[in-house]
Amino acid sequence: MLLWPGGALRRPVSRINASLVAWPGVSALLFACFCQGSAASDYGTTGLIDIPTARMQADGTFTTSVAFEERTESYMLTYQATPWLEGTFRYTGFNDFFFWDRNYEIKARLWRERWLLPQVAVGIRDAVGTGVFGSEYVVASKQIGNLDFTLGLGWGRLADKGVATNPLTYVDDRFEQRERSDDGTGGEVNFDTFFSGEEVGVFGGASYHFERWPLKAIIEYNPDQYEFDARRGVPAPPSPWTFGLAWQALPGVELTLSRQHDETWGLALAARMDTTAEPPQRQTEVFVSSATMAPDEMPEGLNPRLWYDRLLYDMERSGLLLIEARIDKLTQTAVLVIGNEDHVLWADAAAKAMALVDLHLPPSVRSLQLVIEENGHRVHTLSALRPSSSYWQGTDLASQNLRVLPGRALENPQHQTNFVTRKVNFEINVNNRVQLFDPDDPLRYQFYLAVGAELALPRNWALRGSYAFDIHNTFDESRRQSDSVLPRVRSDVVKYLQQGDNGLDSLFLEKRGSLSPVLHYRMFGGVLEEMYSGVGGEVLYQPVQSRFAFGVSANRVRQRDFDKSFDHLDYETTTAFLSAYWATPFYNYDVAVHAGRYLAKDVGATVELRRTFTNGWMVGLWATFTDVSSEDFGEGSFDKGMFFRIPLDGLFGNRTRSAYATRIRPIQRDGGQRLENHSGNIWWDLRGARFDVFSQAGDRISP
């Protein structure tokens, strides 16, 4: 599994940026906030030590945790996907024999705690995986003062000390037998085993929060007899009882020491972060303008007597772009095309632009139209009456009574900004690559100097590239070789990391634009990524003010040599996809489906689910199913993983739209592989400027 490098998404500038963009846990911890509630268990889910509780974290909480004890060591990622749904990815290694297991767990709250009623949740442990930890449960939690009690009914491993007949056997005979599922390739959903077995077990426990100290005492009863370990000669635990003490070491960071099953000691560390929190930079912004500046204080090349030049100067200082403008004297309307450089939330950018435009326009103008340009695509026009004819300091779009209209091309603009072209802008960052889940070493890494360059060309063309200079890496220690029966379109990635520790990551020519208010395009060619060169393009049909969109993308690519030079291997192919997108009205979740032909020439579909917050955080999952059988695919059965986009706004004391974006795969195989940044991406690129983003700025924004 590889975390592809998270490149900065901000515009290139001619300076050295010494900031370290590290893997998601490092960057995100700087935004960490203390979240009340139970901590992560040794299984990653919210719970006591090994058993789950019915408790949930605050909506949007992302938890990273590690747990060590004599039998196992585990690494977990848990996300509170909605106020009532929690998901966990877990990677566990066994110390008594060589085996590493990857699996997922989900837990859903059925109802909240009331005065006399406990909170109740249902969960499936190892819902997608090998079934090594397979168990299901219904659990209730009730708080009385500083004590929080938990009692649950379990199936699978949580029913090892059975106490009663499985009640579901009275519903259907199929629940009587529980088939073993821990001897396959893993990665599949084990529907046939869920809530099955002759008996059910009971588990439970309690935690006590001390008032004067940041401590919590824990006791639990866990009936698990570790059958998987026992089949490999490891004795069952002598006692089902476990005791622990949890210490809130820092806000959002908890350390737990436990005595497990009266035989081993355990140590766990959990760090929680709130992905919904606003960065501090946005809370301290001040309004700046050149209205009171003397003419000789203006930069050279700008005419202080022209409203356009003064507005251009103020917008650039405010992290905005003024591209072109026209004033219609007959209708007393000003139309301006603007871009957003630094504001994470487009509503903030539009509100700031509205204030500056109102400040500088001639008094004769009575109405405004701001054409929103995002990544070269003109997506919307914000129309409103001019707020006033004097200085306005408002930052809330809701007070502007806006209408969101289709984007438009500006015919015969009276003013245009002469942006510098044919000049190379450089950006230098210390960056990283991380490879996880190699059983020989769960973490391999590289730190490298990433030198990025961009050459802006006329007519919205741009030449972009990036070169990596190795600082330090541990990939040479990897001895894993691909055993794939498919064309090795991704599974040879370690060879690129070893032989291409220094080398060209990308160098391609790209053009973006809008053919109409509802039709956006992108075309590109060159060295597209570390493993492939080629040409391709994409078209997106986005109906005005619709939550649905449709697209088509295609690429003709050839696999690069392992040293990341301009040489290539013999393998080449064509990929193509039809895509459908839905911006759901539920918790800011978006769904995308891509159906088509993949790099290994397999055919199928990818389903993506992402959640985006106004602060720039984006968290998601994807799964790909193709005509490659699970046996031919190999370990994991099908391609799946998690997506993270972590904003850097305010991280180093400045406002920016920069972000660290990465994908985490449980295992890197060859089936279901795409060019991640060149297949169906326009819709995601325009996510921050979609209609519903502006409509959420206030109830008075109307179509």
Q: For the segment 6-34, what is each residue's pLDDT rounded down to a tens digit?
A: 332 333 332 223 233 333 333 333 333 33
Same domain, 394 and 355: yes
Same domain, 309 and 268: no
Same domain, 131 and 229: yes
Q: How many Å is the Cα radius of gyration of the chain?
A: 28
Residue 163 sits at the vertex; the CA angle it makes with 157 and 166, to the nearest 5 degrees, is 75
Two tokens at 148?
């929080």
Same domain, 199 and 58: yes
User: Pairing between strand 424-438 and 441-457?
Assistant: antiparallel
Same domain, 307 and 164: no
Instruction: Note the pLDDT of residue 314.
Output: 93
Q: What is the 3-state secondary structure (H, E, C) of 439-483?
A: CCEEEEEEEEEEEEEEEEECCCEEEEEEEEEEEEECHHHCCCCCC
User: Which residue in this structure is represented by tokens 């749904």?
Assistant: 85
Whole domain around residue 166: which residue ranges? 32-179+186-274
Nearest-CA neighbor of 137 among 128, 125, 149?
125
Q: Last residue of a domain, which of 370, 395, 419? A: 419
Tell me whether residue 607 is in a domain. Answer: no
Give Cα 34 distance to the centre of its chain: 21
Compute the distance between CA of residue 455 and CA of residue 14 in angstroms, rounded to an integer: 12
Same domain, 313 and 256: no
Q: Last residue of a domain, which of 274, 306, 332? A: 274
Instruction: Note the pLDDT of residue 34.
Output: 35
Q: Is 570 exposed, middle or buried (0-12, 13-18, 19+ CB in 10 A)?
A: exposed
Same domain, 357 and 257: no
Instruction: Note the pLDDT of residue 87.
Output: 96
Tell me whether residue 285 is in a domain. Answer: yes
Q: Report CA-CA distances (Å) from 701 to 346, 353, 397, 399, 698.
A: 14, 17, 8, 9, 6
At 78, which amino acid appears? Answer: T
Instruction: Note the pLDDT of residue 186.
Output: 61
Tell me whether residue 254 is in a domain. Answer: yes
Same domain, 87 and 196: yes
**What CATH number is associated with residue 270?**
2.40.160.40
Compute the distance between CA of residue 385 and CA of residue 343 in angstroms, rounded to an integer: 23
Question: What is the SS3 assignment for 136?
Answer: strand
Number of domains the chain contains: 2
Two tokens at 212?
């004067």
Q: Last residue of a domain, which of 274, 309, 337? A: 274
Tell me whether residue 426 is in a domain. Answer: no
User: Which residue in this structure is represented by tokens 């920016």?
Assistant: 656
Same domain, 213 and 309: no
Tell me the DSSP string of 466-526: EEEEEEEE-GGG-------SS--SSTTHHHHHHHTSSEEEEEEEEEEEEEETTEEEEEEEE
Task: Give the pTM.
Answer: 0.87
Outline where DSSP puts E strands in 317-423. Answer: 320-328, 333-340, 367-374, 377-385, 403-406, 415-416
Length of the chain: 703
Phi, psi torsion values for 461, nearest 5 degrees: -90, 150
The low-confidence residues of the chain, meaning pLDDT below 50, are 1-37, 283-284, 389-395, 698-703
Question: What is the SS3 assignment for 164?
Answer: strand
Tell me whether residue 501 is in a domain. Answer: no
At 343, which amino acid appears? Answer: H
Tell me whether residue 533 is in a domain. Answer: no
Same domain, 216 and 240: yes
Same domain, 153 and 71: yes
Phi, psi torsion values for 539, nearest 5 degrees: -130, 135
User: Pairing between strand 147-156 and 119-129?
Assistant: unpaired
Contact (Cβ atoms closer than 8 angstroms) between residue 49 and residue 258: yes
Tell me whether residue 543 is in a domain. Answer: no
Summary mean pLDDT of the chain: 86
Same domain, 339 and 382: yes
Tell me whether residue 685 is in a domain. Answer: no
